[in-house]
Amino acid sequence: MLKLMLVALSAVALLSTQQQTLAQTQDARATQLIQELHARIRQHFLESKEGLVPLFRGSANTRVGDIWDASMTRLLDTSENCFGGLRTRTAQDTLSALTFQTGAAAGFVLGLQRLFDLGAQGDTRAVVNVEFLDVTEEIVAEGDFHRAYVASQCPVAQQIMTGNVIKIDQAPPVVIGKLYRGKRKIRIAYLDKGSLEARLQQVSSSVGKLPVSIEASIGGSAEQSIVLLDMVSVPLAFAPAFVPVRTGGAPLGGPGQISAEYTWKPFNPTDRVQYETLKELAVGVEHGWSWN
């Protein structure tokens, strides 16, 4: 009896070890996939519209002139408080679509871990196309920022607006100078002939209360697809109004070294040094990324 118990315990321990190893492998694959998706979307936006940083979790209340930390997760001060009466120009615009060869991309774009896991584990033969509809560009002239700035109400932006050389012990703040809004239309096309009804139920459950419409369609060559569409416009990408050009120390938004030195300049994406700073900012935003 004792021998049988020891054998059983050994089998349980072996199974537990195997399950832990499998879970670690799956976590590593998911982490790698997330990093690849970050890099793909980052490069897509940096190369479009003279350099944009993607916003993965932008609030519908995000405004041009708002001041955020470098990870774009903490609103430090508002446009209304810092730049009273700021005049924003708005115009219709476009952003090019993205195509991914993994179903997990749909969950990543929407920030939904359940939908990401569903795509990463079960829908390996899926293609995800992301279109951006009803896109608008919101922008403010550099001179309007200076004329509207209220120094007494917004000390966090004082060094930015004066253009001084500064040394700080953390990544500097970000003033949004240009903002793109729109609706994400995400089509998940399945290349096999699995049950569309079962997938539709899984996707609907993963989306939950997010303001997204869900439709299913069957196209030619037995293609089955599920289409998710934002019901309201959301912030998609931004560019800073001013760039802290780093002369030493830590990358903007990155971990590690402190006491970096910066000189503030109006953002010019054609300037090589400023463009490198924009790439650092994009990586900094990714450091603050998390699931909805």
The letter for the amino acid at 48 is S
DSSP state of 66: -
DSSP state of 38: H
pLDDT tens for residues 38-71?
Answer: 999 999 999 888 889 998 777 788 999 999 998 8
pTM for the whole structure? 0.84
Domain map of the chain by residue range? 26-287
Q: Which residues of the chain have pLDDT under 70?
A: 1-26, 122-124, 167-170, 193, 219-222, 248-260
Which residue, 49, 65, 38, is CA-closest to 270?
Answer: 49
Q: Rounded CA gap, 131 and 143, in Å?
A: 34
pLDDT tens for residues 193-212?
Answer: 677 788 888 899 999 888 99
Task: Please count the other Cβ atoms lying within 10 Å of the Cβ belonging to residue 233.
Answer: 16
pLDDT of 205 reads 92
pLDDT of 39 reads 94
Sign of CA dihedral 6, 10, 15, 19: positive
pLDDT of 82 reads 96
Task: Please count the other Cβ atoms lying within 10 Å of the Cβ belonging to residue 259.
Answer: 11
Which residue, 134, 93, 125, 109, is CA-closest to 41?
Answer: 109
